[in-house]
Amino acid sequence: MTVGVALNASDAENQVDASVSLAREAAEAGLRSAWFGQTFGADSPQLAAIVGREEPRLHVGTSAVPVFGRHPLLVSSQAQTAQAATHGRYHLGLALGTKLITESGFGLPFERPIARLREFLTALRQLTRTGTADFHGELLTAAPPISARVPGAENGVPLLVAAMGPQALRASGELADGILPYLAGPRALEEHIVPALTAAAAAAGRPSPRIVALVPGVVTDDVEAVRAKATEQLAFYEQIPSYARVVELSGGRRASDVAVIGDERTVAAEVRRYRDAGATEVVFTSTDIAGEADRRRTWALLGELAG
């Protein structure tokens, strides 16, 4: 099982420089992948391309680019460029986004998100694999009159979706290469997410999808203080129905209830639970909430598990 970390250097003086530095440290610790979120700040595919080129020991990924406010042609250009820059080590994550961010940030109505996701994935797969497309959907058109191929990215780009609900899981199983569930504990994965995803993929005649579980986690001795900090940091997600639902399915009440916090033995056991629940990869997020020493301690353990 691959083990990686999400890197967040948005508070640094220079986010690109700091991300490269963190990626080198992650690789030295034995981690296998580094992932970058997408908000309204740094361009995640571009950041992943730079970091992946500077640190060839890591696979890099985006988690995740919202499909609202983007077009498959533009995202394909970004993803193929990142794939060429990293010589095949880039993984593109897509997300539905949220009503709040879509409507307040982009001024777009958050309507028919699953239909948009399906059309986006269909067009994007054609573009990233062949450099061309002739897609005319209800919501999107992608039919470039000239080639959209990026030399060096001929093998395509793995497409993952931040999917956890039944409809998104069905679309991802049929059209994507895997998923990026966040705040979904082992119980939610094993009982709800993995069965729905694999059934959809099997019905479509596709191989078993990847399940890259994004897990807030820290190795620390100060469990109570770190969990209190995690509760504060993760409270935002409790306002979003999809996250609130998956936390409940995981047996939690607050988002921080699914955070993995404890000593090395505790955290290693929880990582194994994710593997046993069907996760093919585990990516730790929020490893900086307890300070530098605990972050390094967390990465050291994850590097051992990756080995």
Q: Tell me what pLDDT residue 273 has.
A: 98
Q: Tell me what pLDDT residue 126 has.
A: 97
Q: Tell me what pLDDT residue 307 has.
A: 84
Whether pLDDT at 152 is above 70: yes
Taking the C-alpha atoms of residue 75 and residue 72, their distance in angstroms, rounded to an integer, is: 5
Q: Residue 14: beta bridge partners?
A: none
Q: Tell me what pLDDT residue 100 has.
A: 87
In CATH, which superfamily holds the domain spanning 1-161? Luciferase-like domain (3.20.20.30)
Higher pLDDT, 289 or 302: 302
Contact yes or no for 79/60 (Cβ under 8 A): no
141: tokens are 């058109």
Taking the C-alpha atoms of residue 215 and residue 282, their distance in angstroms, rounded to an integer, is: 7
Q: Residue by residue, what is the 3-state secondary structure of the chain?
A: CEEEEECCCCCCCCHHHHHHHHHHHHHHHCCCEEEECCCCCCCHHHHHHHHHHHCCCCEEEECCEECCCCCHHHHHHHHHHHHHHCCCCEEEEEECCCHHHHHHHHCCCCCCHHHHHHHHHHHHHHHHHHCCCCEECCCCEECCCCCCCCCCCCCCCCEEECCCCHHHHHHHHHHCCEECCECCCHHHHHHHHHHHHHHHHHHCCCCCCEEEEEEEEEECCCHHHHHHHHHHHHHHHHHCHHHHHHHHHCCCCCHHHHCEEECHHHHHHHHHHHHHCCCCEEEEECCCCCCHHHHHHHHHHHHHHHC
What's the pTM?
0.96
| 52-74 tens-digit pLDDT | 999 999 999 999 999 999 999 99
Average pLDDT of the chain? 96
| 81-101 tens-digit pLDDT | 999 999 999 999 999 999 888
- Nearest alpha carbon to residue 123 among 83, 190, 85, 176: 176
Q: Tell me what pLDDT residue 288 has.
A: 78
Q: Tell me what pLDDT residue 1 has.
A: 56
Domain map (residue ranges) of the chain:
1-161
Taking the C-alpha atoms of residue 275 and residue 126, their distance in angstroms, rounded to an integer, is: 32
Confidence band for 289, pLDDT divided at 50, 70 and 90: confident
β 260-262/159-161 pair status: unpaired
Contact yes or no for 148/77 (Cβ under 8 A): yes
